[in-house]
A and B are shown apart, each in its own frame.
Chain A
Amino acid sequence: MPSLHEIKEGLFSYQESEKGWVATVRTPADLLAAAKKVREAGIQNWDCYSPCPIHGMDEAMGLHRSWIPFITLVFALLGATLGISYISYIDLIDWSIVYAGKPYFSWPAYIPILFELSVFFGGTATVAAVLILGKLGKISRKPINNRITSDGFAVWIGDSVSREKVQEILGNLAEEVSAVE
């Protein structure tokens, strides 16, 4: 289990302020290299943008292991627990009745439903978790430039760092460094 501190870190590891510098790079490999450099420079408020997930980006950026699996597990268990409680209440207390000569509490017959409920709760919670953790749903958000979702790769660094510093860190990896207001 992740500690409370780690959870907080995972949630609030960067504060997004639009102001800063954006450096475009040419290829996925360059983006990985750039991410590594920014991380080594010890910069806190920064992010990378790409049209697709890039393998190895998590390590390059030093991101924490996503704790979404725990959310899934907890909600899956919750779904099964709610299900079995509801079914038990109905079949044992509210409306006990014998069908097909089976006992009042026919646990083998409940397993399919409990399984479906845990998948339903677990899956839906996973999607909800991504929406929250990935900061999705805020439709006013705009990409750093229109090429990002098509074929652009870029590093964004908060304005606590000067433009010269950004250029120094990235060196010739950066195609172009521009300011975002």
Chain B
Amino acid sequence: MSLESVKNPFHIGKTFKQIDDDIMRPMETFPSKTWWIAFLIAASLLAMFAGILIYSFVKGLGIFGLNNPVGWGLYIVNFVFWVGIGHAGTLISAILFLFRQRWRTSINRAAEAMTIFAVMVAAIFPLIHVGRPWFVFWVFPYPNERGPLWVNWRSPLLWDVFAISTYFIISLQFWYMGLVPDFANMRDRQERFKARSKIGELLLTVKKITLRVISLGWVGSAKTWHHYEKMVLILSALATPLVLSVHTIVSFDFATSIIPGWHATIFPPYFVAGAIYSGFAMVLTLMIIMRRTFKLEDYITMKHLENIGLVILVTGMMVSYAYTVEFVIAAYSANKVEQYVFMNRLAGPYAWAFWTMFACNVVSPHFMWFKKLRNNLTVLFIISIVVNIGMWFERFVIVVTSLHRDYLPSSWDMYVPTIYDWGMMLGSFGVFFTFFLLFVRTLPVIAIAEVKADEANDSLHAAH
């Protein structure tokens, strides 16, 4: 069946069969050498991560660079960074859906996978940061035998527990339900594969049974689609405020305090904008690599990448706006402490971090004003990396510069991350990429049914 092309820049114009074959190819061929190399690097970083983790359990948190004024170091920086990365996935699958942005369909599956892995990585950091991770289940408010001893409902750290776990579970449900029609599609094309050995036969049987189970007996009935589509709409409508609430609550961790540089009421929308900004940059990085290695240029077109570039431009300017408001209000406040914190950021011992952040976050997105640069893969790729470096430094600046000089000058100190801090940071990328690399080989990286729905819609309009 072929569909007539219509005037939609995101129309693909291939047969449904061709779409299946294109998107499933990475799952149905043996991984390439590049994939193996990437996977080995990621897995060894993951091993390093696990190694440092175990070492820190044995030795204690002393191996990290935390000290008395700077009680929150790279751990919290990484936590906020990874939670932020996750936000773009939900944004693409939910908010862009509500705003009827057609270009989301080709990228939402991979972006949602990114969300789930990023949230998983993020959750590890506070878990270790509590000091005694084996008691971490105490954060859940269940009736217990430790006297009547309950969690503090007024603590933003507890709100975080609720926000992150709700976010993870809802995202996972959303992602899985989106995969069900594609699982059914995979289930129904297994007959084409023949095993050549006994073990192969066994594996194939296991695969068939697994697909049968996880596709939930999906038969493509219109009556199921009818409810299913409503569910997508409702989950989008729920996930949109949810994703905003998650980073809002992360920002509450800082803003409910009275530390100058942390207590700013603009933090909630400012953090949300920053999260979208860094998340989209990460999506851009991943998409540029993915479309090239898996030959998905017909699905993830330059127009998609250009749109992501525009989102980066807009959210970058929102972040710049928040920086400006912080400085303007500090100047306006005539409050010595407030003014000192911001002067210290500009010209203090961590000024290098601030100016790195400034160059990456405030200056670099403006290249996206130019259509030529938005259509240049190299430029896009560099910008996407630069923005993520900038956003990492933004969290570093917020956490460290606000803490290292507090109200009591006698306790001022510098924070120097140790080799273990950096190892954990690098290792977290290993964890993330290990999961992501496994994902691209085992699940359809593009939501096939959704792409088909858009294509079918085009053909209906063309028929009019």
A residues touching B (Cβ–Cβ < 8 Å)? 13-14, 26-29, 32, 35, 47-58, 61, 63, 66, 68-69, 72, 86-87, 90-91, 94-95, 99-100, 102, 106, 109-110, 112-113, 115-117, 119-120, 122-124, 126-127, 129-131, 133-144, 146-151
A143 close to B219 (CB less than 8 A): yes
CB-CB under 8 A for A148 and B229, given A49-B219, A49-B221, A87-B153:
no
Q: Are A53 and B218 in contact, CB atoms less than 8 angstroms apart?
A: no
**Interface-central residue, B169, B228, B234, by most chain A CB under 10 Å:** B234
A51 shortest CB reach to chain B, Å: 6
Q: What are 10 of the A-B contact pairs (CB < 8 Å)?
A: A27-B1, A49-B222, A51-B181, A52-B449, A66-B227, A69-B234, A90-B141, A123-B174, A141-B218, A150-B17
Say whether B453 contacts A53, CB under 8 Å.
yes
Q: How far is the CB of A105 from chain B (nearest CB, A)?
A: 10
Q: Say whether, besides A136-B218, A148-B220, A149-B181, A124 and B188 are in contact (CB < 8 Å).
A: no
Q: Which of B15, B162, B221 contacts A116 (CB 8 A)?
A: B162
Name the A residues within 8 Å of B191 (CB-CB).
Answer: 146
Q: Are A136 and B180 in contact (CB under 8 A)?
A: yes
Determine the distance from Cα of A142 to Cα of B452 in the docked complex, in whole angstroms.
21
Q: Per-residue CB proximity of B144-159 to A under 8 Å, as 1/0? A: 0000111011111011
B166–A116 contact, CB under 8 A? yes
Query: Contact check: which of B154, B216, B226 meets A106 at CB < 8 Å?
Result: B154
Q: Which residues of A contact B177 (CB under 8 A)?
A: 127, 130
* Chain B residues within 8 Å of A28, by CB: 456, 459-460
Given contacts A50-B220, A95-B149, contact A66 B154 (CB under 8 A): no
Known contacts A90-B150, A149-B184: does B225 contact A50 (CB below 8 Å)?
yes
Q: Which residues of B contact A143 (CB under 8 A)?
A: 184, 188, 218-220
Q: How far is the CB of A149 from chain B (nearest CB, A)?
A: 4
Which A residues are in CB contact (< 8 Å) with B227?
66, 68, 129-130, 133-134
Residues of chain A with a CB closer than 8 A to B248's CB: 112
Q: Could you tell me the distance in whole angstroms from the C-beta of B54 to the nearest C-beta in chain A? A: 32
**Cβ contact within 8 Å between A47 and B221:** yes
A120 to B171, alpha carbons, bound, how many Å?
10
Q: Given contact pairs A51-B449, A123-B169, enumerate 12 new A-B contacts (beta carbons under 8 Å).
A: A53-B225, A90-B150, A91-B153, A95-B149, A109-B154, A123-B234, A123-B235, A123-B239, A134-B223, A135-B223, A139-B215, A146-B191
Give the Cβ gap from B452 to chain A, nearest Cβ, in Å: 4
Q: A136 vs B326: C-alpha distance in the bound complex, in angstroms?
A: 51
Residues of A within 8 A of B450 (CB): 52
The winner among A52, A61, A131 for most chain B CB atoms within 10 A is A52
Cβ of B275 under 8 Å from chain A: no
Closest to B213 in A: A139
Contact A151 B159 (CB under 8 A): no
CA distance A14 to B1 in the complex (A): 30
Whole-angstrom distance between the Cβ of A87 and the nearest chain B Cβ: 5
Complex: chain B residue closest to A68, CB-CB: B230
Residue of A nearest to B248 (CB): A112
Contacts of A49 in B (CB 8 A): 219-222
Known interface pairs A57-B225, A129-B227, A150-B188; A141-B219 also in contact (CB < 8 Å): yes
Which of B15, B166, B173 has most A Cβ within 10 Å?
B166
- Minimum distance in angstroms from A33 CB to a CB of chain B: 10
Interface of B is mostly: helix
Which residues does chain B contribute within 8 Å of A144, judged by CB atoms?
219
- CB 8 Å contact bits of B237-251 with A (1 = contact, 0 = none): 011011001001100
**B463 lies within 8 A of chain A by Cβ:** yes
Residues A99 and B185 in contact, CB atoms below 8 Å apart: no
A123 pairs with B173, CB closer than 8 A: yes
CA distance in complex: A51, B449 (Å) = 6
Which A residues are in CB contact (< 8 Å) with B163?
112, 116
**In the docked arrangement, what's the CA distance between A3 and B150, Å?**
43
Question: What is the minimal beta-carbon distance from B454 to any residue of chain A, in angstroms?
Answer: 8
Interface flag for B20 (CB, 8 Å): yes
B217 at the interface (CB under 8 A from A): yes
Task: Answer yes or no: B8 CB below 8 A from chain A CBs.
Answer: no
Q: Which residues of A contact B449 (CB under 8 A)?
A: 51-53
Q: Is B335 located at the chain interface by the 8 A CB criterion?
A: no
Q: Are B188 and A48 in contact (CB under 8 A)?
A: no
Cross-chain contact of A148 among B141, B174, B219, B456 (Cβ < 8 A): B219
- Judging by beta carbons under 8 Å apart, are A58 and B226 in contact? yes
Interface string of B305-347 (1 = CB under 8 A from A): 0000000000000000000000000000000000000000000
A56, A58, A116, A133 interface centre (most CB from chain B within 10 Å): A116
> Closest residue of chain A to B159, judged by CB?
A112
Is the C-beta of B16 less than 8 angstroms from some C-beta in chain A?
yes
User: Taking the nearest CB of chain A, how far is it from the CB of B157, in angstroms?
Assistant: 11
Asked if B189 is at the interface (CB within 8 A of a chain A CB), the reply is yes
Inside 8 A of B16's CB, which chain A residues have their CB? Answer: 51, 150-151
Closest Cβ of chain B to A155, distance in Å, is 9
Which of B249, B456, B460 is in CB contact (< 8 Å) with A112?
B249
A99 to B213, CA, bound (A): 49
Identity of the chain B residue whose Cβ is nearest the Cβ of A121 in the assembled complex: B166
Max chain A C-beta neighbours (<10 A), residue from B15, B225, B235, B245: B225
Q: How far is the CA of A125 from the CA of B438 in the complex (A)?
A: 30
In the complex, are the beta carbons of B169 and A120 less than 8 A apart? yes
Nearest CB in chain B: distance from A71 CB, A: 9
Closest-by-CB residue of B relative to A131 is B216
Q: Specify which of B153, B234, B457 is in contact with A113 (CB 8 Å cutoff).
A: B153
Q: How many angstroms between the C-alpha atoms of A95 and B147 in the bound complex?
A: 10
Tell yes or no: B231 within 8 A of A by CB: yes
Residues from chain A with a CB closer than 8 A to the CB of B231 are: 68, 126-127, 129-130
A50-B225, A150-B188 known; A120-B166 Cβ under 8 A: yes
**Known pairs A66-B226, A151-B20; A139 contacts B141 (CB<8 A):** no
Cβ–Cβ contact B460 & A119, under 8 A: no
